[in-house]
Amino acid sequence: MSRKKPARRTRRAAGRPKHGLWRWIIGATLLALVAAAGWIAWLDMRITSQFEGRRWDQPAQVFAAPVELYAGRPLGIERFTELLEAQGYRQADGSAPRAGFWWRQGNSVRLMTRAFRFAEGPRAAQVAQIDFDAIGIRRIRDPQGRELPFLQLDPLRIGSIFPAHGEDRMVLAPEEIPPLLAAALIAVEDRRFESHRGLDPEGIGRALLVNLRAGEVRQGGSTLTQQLVKSYFLDSRRTWRRKFTEAAMALLLEQRYGKDEILTAYVNEVYMGQDGRRAIHGFGLASAFYFGKPLAELDAAEIATLVTIVRGPSYYNPWRNPERVRERRDLVLKILAEQGALDAERAGAAAGRPLGLRGAASAGPAYQPAFLGLVRRQLRRDYRDADLDSAGLVVLTTLDPLAQQSAQSAVSDGIGQLRRRGEALEKVEGAAVVTRPATGEVLALVGGAQGSFDGLNRALDASRPIGSLVKPATYLAALESGRHTLASTLRDEAVTVVLDDGSTWQPENFSGEPLGTVSMARSLAESLNLPAVNLGLELGVETVARRLGHLAGTPPPPAFPSLLLGSVEYAPLDVAEIYGTIAAGGFRAPLRAVKAVLDETGTPLSRYPLEIEAVADPLAVAQLQRGLRLVFERGTARGAAGRLGGRQYAGKTGTSGEFRDSWFAGFGSDTLAVVWVGRDDNAPVGLTGASGALPIWADIMSGIGAADLAPNAATGLVEAEIEYATGLLARGDCADTVVVPVPEAAVLETRRDCAPRDPWDETPIERGLQWLKRALGGT
Amino acid sequence: MAEASAGRNMKQHDESRQAIRHPATPPARTANPARHWLRAMGLALAVVLAGCAGLPIGQVPAPDAEEPRHGRGPEAPISELPGDPQAPPEEFPELPGGAGPDVELEPDYHPAGQALIDEARRERVLGRDAAAGATLERALRIDSQNPWIWIELGKLRLAAGELAATRSMAQKALTLADRDPAARAEAGYLLRQADGGS
């Protein structure tokens, strides 16, 4: 455009007197020069600011918790090698040990970890041998044979916090770029890169010739510098004006920066593929995306594959067009061998290899949008978006890759099975949260049946009525009042509540006639509505609401009577907080996904250490936990026994009105999981907590291998054998009994025709029989 | 209906502790001699009881079953205890305090958790409190039931002047220290320090 200006002005000047013509020509030329200089300065400013800006434009890198290995960990060798694969570790090929490699000998695995910078300081790569037995890890030794009490693997990178426009990348320093990659890019894309000044006329000429001969565009004559400029401005229009601007910018860039800097920028900038909403930029991220391991660990064939993909990430999509990619990769290897960048033997060997892409199954949780959503939410309290997008932060999180994998596959499989059951269930969705209640660490987060989908995060955002999940808050309030125990008799009778607006509320039991009276133990285990409502009304709805608020660490919900049957809405993550407090013995540990944030040099910027707060009476919680174990032994979760392999857990089912939401929340001694199943449009799905969420929950817990709930001794509690139905003290030989803890000072009533004997009056034979009956007959 | 005091009619919760807790802990702990000893004792007890009741041996429940409520059964002679052929003797860690009548009361904390506590103590001595805190959180991931981890966390909070957090950690340790008098005493001391300082 600006080139035409002088011409126009010259024409206009033509009618003027002759002696003024020269002046005009000179003036116009000067003007043109000034305009051109201005244009160049403007271009220079644009390209420089882009280049400089991008150099530091590093999305925060997010890492999972490191895998912790120690003697006695119940992790089998097969599962462990799977885990290594998921971490991007590779089986050694017999060469000298390198970081990120493992090899197996019988029941032992030797490996070399990768160096990593933790918040506590850098950790060097470490060689170790791990011996397994039938139970799990038997011992860990260093190469000198000394036993190591524990070994931490380098954490798995699970994604980054990339800006809204979706560009994700892992920025590499010049020294992190493998020499073979640099050589391959130059050999294939821009042979005269080292000598040209941004443009390569010879290359353009050659490309023109090739394209003319072929009658189609086969080769681009663009230099790497031109390609870099092009990708900076995300404009693929092929106009002459664009080409001209790009060429000018390429020349300017070469004036200002060295070849190394330009190549590094190229390696970090270039578009390498698409993963849903996320655009994969740069070779660092591409290596993780396509191969599941760091760029430094790629072999010649894998580097050649990436150099193939950069040509056209869509055309050379290795999952969609593996043959096309292999052909081109082998060509790249051949070129490398011809140019002496790779010796012919290695190139030949590499050419025969399969692509070796990460498989969907072995990939592990490479990219976890749901969990990253929680990370982002936690970080936004302390960091600006711009810092997260571009300041090169390192975020160390609590994600447990194994738990995430188990939880995602349990939800995906479980929802898949439900969807096949019928029309009402075709659109059913699910969500799950797995935590370590003692510390508040979120181990896994599943936002929907489709794991990699970066959409509605139901674990965080789907607030739904929790149904009977609310009841433990009522029972806890009752146990804390000191007036009730699990043996208390509750009224299972119809009740009518007059509401503030004059209308009435008449809750009903889920099924069957009211029993009249029932033990608290049974009422809790079988999730009876009327006893829970009667008890809640006796305690006061406000008391229950406050209890719930304490457990959740949020303000109490509005105290409507319908709260007692769970009309209150919580997201799965909130439910995990509530049940986490119960699982942790009454100590609430605020849930957290981030442990520490480091800056790009590895200096800790912030840490999020463990916090706990005593919010409930530990003795009342111990009793409640026993009641929640009865849910599995006697109550609504009986059906899960087959999926749990004999392990003992505590938990509760929840079903909201008209079967819209199906919930299960439960825990072992150190893991808690919450599962929600329902529809996004809130339509009824016809599932109870037991038929929808419970099987998925059970699959998560058994997938993780969650430890049993070991009942803790609590000074101040004694065990009582009570009749399950009535709560009266009774004997197992004449009544259906359960053993529950009650406060020492509690006064219990006895069933007269089946009164317990003083245990110390019994003969050893009687005691033995009692014990055998309980041990064999306990369900 | 007759009323009866719960305390008189019921077996003390404490007595059944060793029998309940050990089988319920993860199988990872087989290398612990205390566990072997208890398991053997439970087995011996089961055999004795089954013998008295005249039941065929096949009906004897596994000693790991949920409800063996009798803490102290007849003691089996050492020579009859089944050994674990797979675990060579050098695998047995030294028991602190040596063997003796209080062996069964010795809490069996996870050795890896203990090793991390030791590391955290070293870090605390060196003034690296943040690192010590992170190490203790690692220890919790291995054995969150070990009261000493919470005590150490409490000491870090106390050093940082966070009294409310110190109190919470001490209270948590107390709820886990039922079988560990030393931990109870230490947690109690920590609690008093937190309260005294406020």
How far apart, in Å, do the first and last CA atoms of chain B sit?
A: 50
The fold for domain B111-197 equals 1.25.40
pLDDT in tens, A603-615: 888 899 999 999 9
Give the closest-approach CA distance of A136 to chain B in angstroms: 7
The fold for domain A66-156 equals Penicillin-binding protein 1b fold (3.30.2060)
**Alpha carbon distance A178, A163 (integer Å):** 27
- Domain A433-704 part of CATH 3.40.710.10: yes
pLDDT at A452 over 80: no
Q: In this complex, do A612 and B168 lie within 8 Å of one another by their Cβ atoms?
A: yes
Task: Return the active site residues of A.
Answer: 189, 468
Binned at pLDDT 50, 70 and 90, residue A58 comes out as: confident
**Looking at the partner chain, which of A72, A749, A778 has a beta carbon nearest the beta carbon of B31?**
A72
Q: Sheet containing A137-141: give its strands across.
A: A90-91, A101-105, A108-112, A127-132, A137-141
pLDDT at A295 over 50: yes
pLDDT at B114 over 60: yes
- Interface test with chain B among A118, A139, A152, A719, by most B beta carbons within 10 Å: A719
Note the pLDDT of residue A187.
Answer: 87
Q: Is any Cβ of chain A less than 8 angstroms from the Cβ of B69?
A: yes
Copy the structure tokens of residue B108.
């069996």
Q: With beta carbons less than 8 A apart as the criterion, state whether A538 and A564 touch.
A: no
pLDDT at B90 over 50: no
- Residue of chain A nearest B74, judged by CA positions: A764
Q: In this complex, do B70 and A771 lie within 8 Å of one another by their Cβ atoms?
A: yes
Give the percent of chain A with pLDDT over 90: 54
Q: In this complex, do B178 and A714 lie within 8 Å of one another by their Cβ atoms?
A: yes
pLDDT in tens, A72-113: 898 899 989 988 887 878 888 666 678 888 999 899 999 999
Note the pLDDT of residue B24.
Answer: 33
- Residue of chain A nearest B119, judged by CA positions: A149
Question: Looking at residues A531-539, what average pLDDT do you find?
Answer: 96
Q: In this complex, do B59 and A714 lie within 8 Å of one another by their Cβ atoms?
A: no
Give the closest-approach CA distance of B40 to chain A in angstroms: 17
Per CB-CB distance under 8 Å, the chain B contacts of A759 are 10-11
**Looking at the partner chain, which of B4, B52, B59 has a beta carbon nearest the beta carbon of A765?**
B52
Per CB-CB distance under 8 Å, the chain A contacts of B56 are none
DSSP tally for chain A: helices H, then strands E: 24, 33
Q: With beta carbons less than 8 A apart as the criterion, state whether A582 and A666 touch.
A: no
Q: Is any Cβ of chain A less than 8 angstroms from the Cβ of B10?
A: yes
Note the pLDDT of residue A199.
Answer: 86
Give the B window 23-62 contacts with A, CB below 8 Å: 24-31, 48-50, 52-53, 55, 59, 61
Q: In this complex, do A776 and B59 lie within 8 Å of one another by their Cβ atoms?
A: yes
Q: With beta carbons less than 8 A apart as the criterion, state whether A628 and A651 touch.
A: yes
CA distances from A422 to A364, A428, A693, B64 (A): 31, 10, 17, 43
What is the interface pTM, i.e. ipTM, of the complex?
0.79
Q: In this complex, do A756 and B9 lie within 8 Å of one another by their Cβ atoms?
A: yes
pLDDT in tens, A307-345: 999 988 999 999 889 999 999 999 999 988 988 888 888
pLDDT at A276 over 90: no
Element (H, E) at A747: strand A747-749
Question: Looking at residues A268-292, what average pLDDT do you find?
Answer: 87
Question: Looking at residues B113-127, what average pLDDT do you find?
Answer: 94
The fold for domain A159-351 equals Penicillin binding protein transpeptidase fold (1.10.3810)
**Alpha carbon distance A100, A112 (integer Å):** 6
Helix (H, G, I), strand (E, B) or coil at B135: helix
CA distances from B198 to B151, B154, B189 (A): 18, 15, 14
- Interface test with chain B among A120, A644, A667, A761, by most B beta carbons within 10 Å: A120
Per CB-CB distance under 8 Å, the chain B contacts of A596 are 134
Binned at pLDDT 50, 70 and 90, residue A512 comes out as: confident
Q: In this complex, do B1 and A714 lie within 8 Å of one another by their Cβ atoms?
A: no
Q: Is any Cβ of chain A less than 8 angstroms from the Cβ of B187?
A: no
Q: Given the structure tokens 């103590």, which residue do they identify? A: B121
**Looking at the partner chain, which of A135, A586, A721 has a beta carbon nearest the beta carbon of B28?**
A135
Question: Looking at residues B10-24, what average pLDDT do you find?
Answer: 35
Q: In this complex, do B172 and A610 lie within 8 Å of one another by their Cβ atoms?
A: no
Domain boundaries of chain A, sorted by first residue: 4-55, 66-156, 159-351, 433-704, 717-777
Per CB-CB distance under 8 Å, the chain A contacts of B48 are 768
Q: In this complex, do A149 and B116 lie within 8 Å of one another by their Cβ atoms?
A: yes
Q: With beta carbons less than 8 A apart as the criterion, state whether B169 and B150 touch.
A: yes
Domain boundaries of chain B, sorted by first residue: 13-68, 111-197
Question: Looking at residues A651-661, what average pLDDT do you find?
Answer: 94
Per CB-CB distance under 8 Å, the chain B contacts of A147 are none
Q: Is any Cβ of chain A less than 8 angstroms from the Cβ of B130?
A: yes
- Residue of chain B nearest A710, judged by CA positions: B24
Per CB-CB distance under 8 Å, the chain A contacts of B172 are 585, 587, 612, 614
Give the closest-approach CA distance of B189 to chain A in angstroms: 18
Task: Note the pTM of the prediction, 2 decimals.
Answer: 0.77
Q: In this complex, do A759 and B11 lie within 8 Å of one another by their Cβ atoms?
A: yes
pLDDT in tens, A746-763: 999 999 999 887 655 556
Q: Is any Cβ of chain A less than 8 angstroms from the Cβ of B115?
A: yes
Q: With beta carbons less than 8 A apart as the criterion, state whether A388 and A175 touch.
A: no
**Looking at the partner chain, which of B13, B50, B68 has a beta carbon nearest the beta carbon of A714?**
B13
pLDDT in tens, A124-146: 999 999 999 998 999 999 999 99
- Residue of chain A nearest B25, judged by CA positions: A710
